[in-house]
Amino acid sequence: MKEYILAIDQGTTSSRAMLFDCLGNVVDSEQQEFPQYYPENGWVEHTPEEILASVLSTCRKLLAKQNIQAGQIKSLGITNQRETTIVWDTVTKKPMYNAIVWQDRRTSDYCQSLVEQGYSEMITKKTGLLIDPYFSATKLKWILDNVEGARQKAAAGELAFGTVDTFILWYLTDGDSHYTDATNASRTMLFNIHEQCWDEELLALFDIPRNILPEVLDSSADFGVTSENLFGFNIPVQGIAGDQHAALFGQACFDTGSVKSTYGTGCFVMVNTGDDALHSSNKLLSTIAYRLDGKVTYALEGSIFVAGAVIQWLRDGLELISKASDSERLAMEANQSHGVTLIPAFTGLGAPYWDPDARGAILGLTRDTGIKEIVNAALQSVCFQTKDLLQAMEKDGIDIKALKVDGGMTNNRWLLQYLANSLQVDVEQPASAETTALGVAFLAGLKAGVFDSLEHIQSLWQAKAEFSPQITSSEADKHYQGWLEAVSRIRTN
């Protein structure tokens, strides 16, 4: 019988199940979108039940379609949208509240009060993060403070908290496994990335009871076994990583200084910093890249809240395009000197600005501006935001020679060429676009013995295409300066 690795890729707008062979090649996949909820301005929620249903549905369809039998799945890995916060009742197995999504800004005022009280330095020193609604801690505190009965149930030991990986794992193992991995823990603003533990001072600050938190394991570890009644047989769960960390792993960025950028709902640039958790002077985040056999590899990360979501907005909000793939043709057909700047700050600006109250704008409109120019400007905004991040990394001492890219938007060749032009570095597109799912498959396969080393995994990585700059650095700087001037007009901090 052929043997495979199953990867669950639980994203912000959809869940996917992917089957890989033992060389890391995609065999097949299933994907299912689920609803987004916006109960108030700046609030973003999912229902945990719909997340779980989409995960189970895609896995079952994939296993049935491929007629997978017991023993053929060597290992299972879970990668997930990070920071999204779920609290559930371990007795009734019901969520206490909807999942509060990483994009949610409801705790902005509370975060600002923490800054004003002088907690910034302490929190950054321990966690590598900046005080922001983006991370899990303030979302978790909000649920405990605002959902009736939550604190009483927590005190009674009847509640569990988790990011999406932990929630899925708990249900897959029928409540036996309440674990997360070090990468997801490092995004909660409750985990000390230097001491590798939940931090008592932070738990006290946010009034989070220790008993509701999951145990933190390596990214490649024995997390438990799926309940037989879910898929007809047991599958060992042996890899977990937050989506951006999984993408870094899937891009084989194991050398210090190697960097990747993932273009999904948001955009996330991450550079491997090896044994050093760098302190950024430019509002970037220090985080855990991955943890293997107890050894931590760190990364520096910049996060953009809106990348692919701007194309989704053009399609669903403005109805300027009928499908996302139309954006490439329209961008090519646009007047390339249109002078329009689109800033997609729908939920504020991420790194390096960290301005939760900024809002989007389209500047430079003329009578000649049409749909093509607006689509073109939307794609440009993704490139300029990436440049914001790479410039911040360079100021922090990182010398970037090339950028590995992945995610759904990288199917757009116009975008990748404009990205190379803007950044003035070579942009490398991998043979496999599914690097997030592949990364967690690699992690699961490492524990299962399918892959014997990082060098083995690195040998499997292949490039599909490379894009080199086709304009001068002075031309690139001129275009970027227009972006910076536009951003300055919408900032509130």
Residue type, 368: D
408: annotated binding-site residue?
A: yes
410: annotated binding-site residue?
A: no
Q: Using alpha carbons, select from 334, 270, 278, 265 the residue that is nearest to residue 306.
A: 265
Q: What is the CA radius of gyration of the chain?
A: 22
Report how far apart, in Å, the C-alpha atoms of 118 and of each of 123, 186, 357 are: 10, 21, 20
435: annotated binding-site residue?
A: no
308: annotated binding-site residue?
A: yes
The pair phi, psi for residue 474, each rounded to 5°, is: -70, -40
489: annotated binding-site residue?
A: no
For residues 423 and 404, give the distance between their C-alpha atoms in angstroms, rounded to a whole number. 12
83: annotated binding-site residue?
A: yes
For residues 207 and 200, give the distance between their C-alpha atoms in angstroms, rounded to a whole number. 10
138: annotated binding-site residue?
A: no
152: annotated binding-site residue?
A: no
134: annotated binding-site residue?
A: yes
359: annotated binding-site residue?
A: no
**At which residue do the structure tokens 């300029």 appear?**
384
Classify strands 402-406 and 426-430 as parallel, antiparallel or unpaired: parallel
For residues 164 and 87, give the distance between their C-alpha atoms in angstroms, rounded to a whole number. 10
Q: Using alpha carbons, select from 217, 209, 201 the residue that is nearest to residue 288.
A: 217
Residue type, 356: P
71: annotated binding-site residue?
A: no
12: annotated binding-site residue?
A: yes
370: annotated binding-site residue?
A: no
367: annotated binding-site residue?
A: no
**Crossing angle for the helix pair 108-116 and 136-146, to the nearest 10 degrees:** 110
C-alpha 33, offset from chain centre: 17
Q: What residues form DSSP beta bridges with 241?
A: 79
For residues 62 and 234, give the distance between their C-alpha atoms in angstroms, rounded to a whole number. 16
Residues placed in the known binding site for sn-glycerol 3-phosphate: 12, 82-83, 134, 243
Residues placed in the known binding site for ADP: 12, 16, 265, 308, 408, 412
Residues placed in the known binding site: 12-14, 16, 82-83, 134, 243-244, 265, 308, 312, 408, 412
Residues placed in the known binding site for glycerol: 82-83, 134, 243-244
Residues placed in the known binding site for ATP: 12-14, 265, 308, 312, 408
